[in-house]
Amino acid sequence: MQQGVAALSSVPVVAAVAPRPVPTGKAGQVHRLTLMVETRFGVQPSGQVEKKLERIFEKASEGDLCEWVDHMSGLPGTDSEWLSLVESLTVHETYFCRDKPMLRMLRGVVMAQLLERKKQAGNYTFKIWSAGCSTGEETTNLVMLLLQALEKMGEATSNINGEITPHPRWRLEVIGTDVSRQVVTTAKNAHYADFGMGSFRDFSEKNLKQFFELVVDVVDPLPGVKYYRAKNFVRRHLTFRQHNLLSPTPPENNCDVVICRNVLIYFQDSVKRSVQELFHRALSQNGALLLGGPDVQYWPDRYERNFGDGGAWYVKK
Ligand SMILES: C[S@@+](CC[C@H](N)C(=O)[O-])C[C@H]1O[C@@H](n2cnc3c(N)ncnc32)[C@H](O)[C@@H]1O
């Protein structure tokens, strides 16, 4: 005990920081819920998340809310009640050809190198995991890039309509995952509306013609809006699945590329670190990890860092 006090007395004195008052009443219940959302889904407790929750529970009484929060505390993150709630708290913004310099680098350098290496080794499988894929635009884009990279190296051919078919020895798998059931359903459905700030906001006519076809049987279409889906030669390489990045296991192993962009920014540092542990496990040796521009890579010893015109990518040692 004496020793403990002595040790404490040598600790530099730091100005005491008043702890943030824990909210009470309904705000207190919302705060409890925010913390539970964080442990189950990584979504950082922020004023914005609390505001969204306050809006959702505007009409509930404090007693009802308290009872419901108690009930939720006993449910795992895989329960449908949690999954319904998290739909409204996550940001699903995405579109085709988001960050063109990165996509060009991915196709022209990262994929080109990895595909060539696999070809040399006589290994004709190529697997990509797009983590936090939202409604699937990023994942679909990855198939387009992969087919173009294969065509460039003479491992795929295209017909007069621009449909690219890889040499039959290749097996391509591009898997998009997201915690939200709703966006995964939309990604599987693959009907993308073409309007102002929608999925095609930065997509060329040439790409639209080559990779997409008009959908005529849309249920409840927006008036005057055209809908497109990727052509079958793209869709046949795509899979979408629900997966929480806070799960102990990745949805896939032996991936050649793992890409996770505009997702980790919503997580606390400790969560980012453990999610990146999952990426490391999902990657095969020499596989490449691509993160968003502002994301820090937490395991530098495990990767060789490369840098190109579209940013950084990390090759698993
Ligand atoms: C802003 S979108 C990014 C979409 C795409 N990667 C892009 O860059 O365009 C972020 C996505 O991350 C998903 N997400 C958030 N927390 C997640 C978690 N714990 N596990 C899996 N996905 C999560 C959200 O549901 C959302 O669809």
Q: Tell me if 181 CB under 6 Å of ligand 1.
A: no
Q: Tell me if 246 CB under 6 Å of ligand 1.
A: yes
Instruction: Identify which of 92, 95, 134, 267 to mutate to test ligand 1's pocket (most ligand atoms within 8 A of the CB).
Output: 134
Same domain, 52 and 125: no
Same domain, 248 and 140: yes
pLDDT at 7: 40
Same domain, 64 and 115: no
Radius of gyration of the chain (CA): 23
Mean pLDDT of the chain: 91
For residue 43, the CA-to-ligand 1 centroid distance in Å is 10
- pLDDT bracket for residue 5 (50, 70, 90): very low
Same domain, 293 and 232: yes
Residue 271, pLDDT above cutoff 60: yes
Residue 292, pLDDT above cutoff 70: yes
306 Cβ contact partners less than 8 Å away, ≥ 6 residues apart: 312, 313, 314, 315
Same domain, 76 and 121: no
Q: Which two tokens stand for residue 235?
A: 């869709």
For residue 63, the CA-to-ligand 1 centroid distance in Å is 33
Question: 225 in a domain, yes or no?
Answer: yes
- pLDDT bracket for residue 18 (50, 70, 90): low
> Among 170, 143, 173, 142, which residue's Cα sits nearest to residue 156?
170
The per-residue pLDDT for range 150-196, each reduced to its tens digit, is 999 999 999 999 999 999 999 999 999 999 999 999 999 999 999 98
Q: Which two tokens stand for residue 67?
A: 């009872």
- Ligand 1 atom closest to residue 267's alpha carbon, by position in its atom list: 16
Please give the residue range of the domain that contains residue 106: 100-316
The per-residue pLDDT for range 82-132, each reduced to its tens digit, is 999 988 888 999 999 999 999 999 999 999 999 999 999 999 999 999 999
The per-residue pLDDT for range 205-234, each reduced to its tens digit, is 999 999 999 999 998 999 999 999 999 999
Query: Within its chain, how far is the Cα of 211 from the centroid?
Result: 22
Same domain, 32 and 136: no
The per-residue pLDDT for range 44-89, each reduced to its tens digit, is 877 788 888 888 888 899 999 999 999 999 999 999 999 999 888 8
Question: 296 in a domain, yes or no?
Answer: yes
CB 166 within 8 A of CB 279: no
Same domain, 153 and 44: no
Mean pLDDT of 258-265: 96
Residue 11, pLDDT above cutoff 50: no
Q: Tell me if 244 CB under 6 Å of ligand 1.
A: yes
Question: 265 in a domain, yes or no?
Answer: yes
The per-residue pLDDT for range 20-36, each reduced to its tens digit, is 666 778 889 988 998 99
Which residue has its alpha carbon closest to ligand 1 atom 13? 132
Whole-prediction pTM: 0.90
pLDDT at 48: 81
pLDDT at 2: 39
6 or 147: which carries more pLDDT confidence?
A: 147
Question: 10 in a domain, yes or no?
Answer: no
Same domain, 66 and 132: no
pLDDT at 1: 37
Give the separation between CA 250 and CA 247, rounded to whole angstroms. Answer: 7
Same domain, 199 and 61: no
Same domain, 42 and 190: no
Residue 311, pLDDT above cutoff 70: yes
Instruction: Tally the domains of the chain.
Output: 2
Give the separation between CA 142 and CA 145, rounded to whole angstroms. Answer: 5
Q: Which of 85, 110, 126 is the last residue of a domain?
A: 85
Question: 38 in a domain, yes or no?
Answer: yes
For residue 94, the CA-to-ligand 1 centroid distance in Å is 9
Same domain, 107 and 40: no
Residue 13, pLDDT above cutoff 80: no
pLDDT at 46: 76
Same domain, 50 and 158: no
